[in-house]
């Protein structure tokens, strides 16, 4: 096992990794920008290194600063967390080239899965079916029109690189396709430096289902069930839960086994997530995330598996200590992403937290680096906490979610807690009757 791990991230995910390392007796090195010098992850790590000014490009996105910090601190390995450089193949290669262990998959797998076109091709090779559409980037509007006619409107134009909803445009009829292509290419070029786009069939009311997997270097791979991430706005997840209200045990076992088999055939290493659109009958692959997910706690709550601990163990050359038959699913878990933002406009709301009181009680977990008096900087993602609840069944989990949201106090900045309270009290949410477009419809009518 590693003696010292540098965490190339900040906020709640850095704190989460510190705790897993401490459970394993691993010393930790926190990195921070100048504005994060008093942050909770810095306070709780064994040591810390300042890596630059607040702007991400000069600190958390600076490969040179991160590798230098690991060298100065004498770290054995670097954990990228999520966001920032977590899915950057170049960073993974730089870490390895400088003699550190990258706690994640190989640079080749990161690169392949980071390109949606290459990812689709790789999954087809191992028997996973993607959403119907183009096999490669479309080279012209004429080619796009031909493919759209073949698969039928409406279609979705998507950026080949990146994610988060950027570079995505819907075309519901032929006259809209050319403008959608132009806009998607501009957005993709601006956001990712890559203007390539491809076309997929637009599925009207799907569920967004993802499968969590773990794989070691000995050919072992397991799935840890699914997460339903269908409550989202502009392709950004807002609430996730496990298990999905619309899958039964047989369907869960089937898609989980297919996912585990696929990553085993790919020779994948570590934690990863295969994401699908589920139309009520078929699963259509859309992408694979080669890192820890924001919503990983719901899987931990229903399986009892510490995903960060497993990442560390696998990266250190360890073998999975359990097989698929050992994985047990217990109860139901739901996660709310608590963001520092206006609940209606989603405009970020940085500032100083005046009062902070997280909820507690049976089945309640809060992953956050907030404390009263701390500063939420304007330079980074607006996610400030994750509220996770667990119960023996979904109705109990929903009731606990409502209770926990009522208890949660964050003052001094705007948050989306009221949005979550509204969703938790809605009949459609309580019954599980929602799809990936439900939240936007709900907000338009709220």
Q: Which string of b and e fits 138-148 if b means at least 16 CB within 10 Å?
A: beeeeebbebb
* 3-class SS of residue 218: coil
| Contact of 6 with 364, CB cutoff 8 Å | no
Q: Tell me which residue of 148, 280, 286 sits closest to 205, measured CA to CA.
A: 280
Query: Do the beta carbons of residue 344 and residue 416 sit within 8 Å?
Result: no
CA dihedral 122, 127, 131, 135 (to 10 degrees): 40
Phi, psi of 169 (to 5 degrees): -140, 140
Secondary structure element (H or E) that encloses residue 159, with its range: strand 155-159
Task: Report how far residue 206's alpha carbon sits from residue 227's, in angstroms, rounded to the nearest whole number.
Answer: 14
Strands 27-33, 4-7: pairing kind: parallel
**Which is the catalytic residue, given 27, 185, 258, 291?**
291
In angstroms, the CA 68 to CA 124 distance is 40
Distance of CA 219 to the CA centre of its chain: 25
Residues 29 and 62: their CA atoms lie apart, in Å, by: 16
For 33, what's the count of Cα atoms within 13 Å in the CB-facing half-sphere?
20
Instruction: Tell me 334's DSSP state.
Output: E
Q: Considering only CA atoms, which of 78, 63, 68, 72 is closest in space to residue 28?
A: 78
**Residue 291 is among the residues annotated as catalytic for this protein:** yes
Residues near 142 by beta carbon (within 8 Å), at least 6 away in sequence: none
> Which ranges constitute the DSSP H helices of 193-295?
249-266
Q: Which of 392, 398, 315 is nearest to 100 (CA)?
A: 315
Distance CA 33, CA 35 (A): 5
Tell me which residue of 370, 384, 378, 442 sits closest to 415, measured CA to CA. Answer: 384
CA-to-CA distance for 64 and 78, rounded, in angstroms?
A: 13
Q: Structure tokens of 147?
A: 């493919």
> Longest Cα pair distance anywhere in the chain, in angstroms?
61
Residues with a catalytic annotation lie at 291
């Amino acid at each position: 096992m590693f003696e010292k791990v540098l965490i190339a991230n900040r906020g709640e995910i850095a704190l989460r990794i510190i705790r897993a390392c401490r459970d394993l007796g691993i010393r930790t090195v926190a990195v921070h920008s100048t504005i994060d010098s008093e942050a909770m992850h810095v306070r709780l790590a064994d040591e810390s290194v300042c890596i630059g000014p607040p702007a991400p490009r000069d600190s958390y996105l600076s490969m040179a600063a991160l590798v230098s910090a690991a060298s100065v601190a004498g770290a054995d390995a670097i954990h990228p967390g999520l966001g920032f450089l977590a899915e950057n193949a170049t960073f993974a290669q730089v870490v390895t080239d400088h003699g550190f262990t990258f706690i994640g998959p190989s640079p080749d797998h990161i690169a392949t899965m980071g390109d949606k076109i290459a990812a689709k091709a790789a999954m087809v090779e191992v028997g996973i079916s993607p959403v119907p559409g183009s096999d490669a980037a479309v080279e012209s509007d004429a080619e796009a029109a031909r493919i759209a006619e073949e698969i039928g409107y409406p279609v979705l134009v998507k950026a080949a690189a990146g994610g988060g909803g950027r570079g995505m445009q819907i075309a519901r009829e032929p006259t809209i396709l050319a403008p959608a292509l132009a806009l998607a290419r501009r957005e993709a070029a601006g956001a990712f430096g890559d203007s390539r786009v491809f076309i997929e069939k637009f599925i009207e009311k799907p569920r967004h289902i993802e499968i969590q997997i773990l794989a070691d270097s000995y050919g072992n791979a397991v799935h840890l069930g699914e997460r339903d991430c269908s409550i989202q706005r502009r392709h950004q997840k807002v609430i996730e839960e496990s298990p999905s209200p619309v899958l039964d045990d047989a369907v869960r076992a089937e898609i989980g086994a297919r996912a585990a088999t696929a990553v085993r055939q790919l020779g994948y290493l570590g934690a990863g997530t295969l994401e699908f659109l589920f139309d009520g009958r078929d699963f259509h692959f859309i992408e694979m995330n080669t890192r820890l997910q924001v919503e990983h706690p719901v899987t931990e709550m229903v399986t009892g598996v510490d995903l960060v601990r497993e990442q560390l163990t696998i990266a250190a050359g360890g073998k999975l200590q359990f097989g698929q038959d050992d994985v047990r699913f217990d109860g139901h878990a739901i996660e709310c992403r608590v963001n520092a933002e206006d609940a209606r406009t989603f405009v970020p709301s940085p500032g100083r937290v005046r009062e902070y009181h997280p909820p507690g009680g049976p089945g309640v977990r809060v992953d956050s680096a907030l404390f009263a008096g701390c500063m939420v900087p304007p330079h980074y993602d607006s996610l400030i906490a994750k509220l996770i609840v667990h119960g023996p069944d979904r109705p109990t989990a929903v009731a606990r979610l409502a209770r926990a949201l009522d208890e949660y106090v964050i003052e001094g900045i705007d948050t989306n807690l009221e949005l979550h309270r509204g969703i938790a009290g809605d009949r459609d949410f309580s019954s599980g009757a929602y799809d990936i477009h439900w939240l936007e419809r709900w907000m338009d009518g709220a």
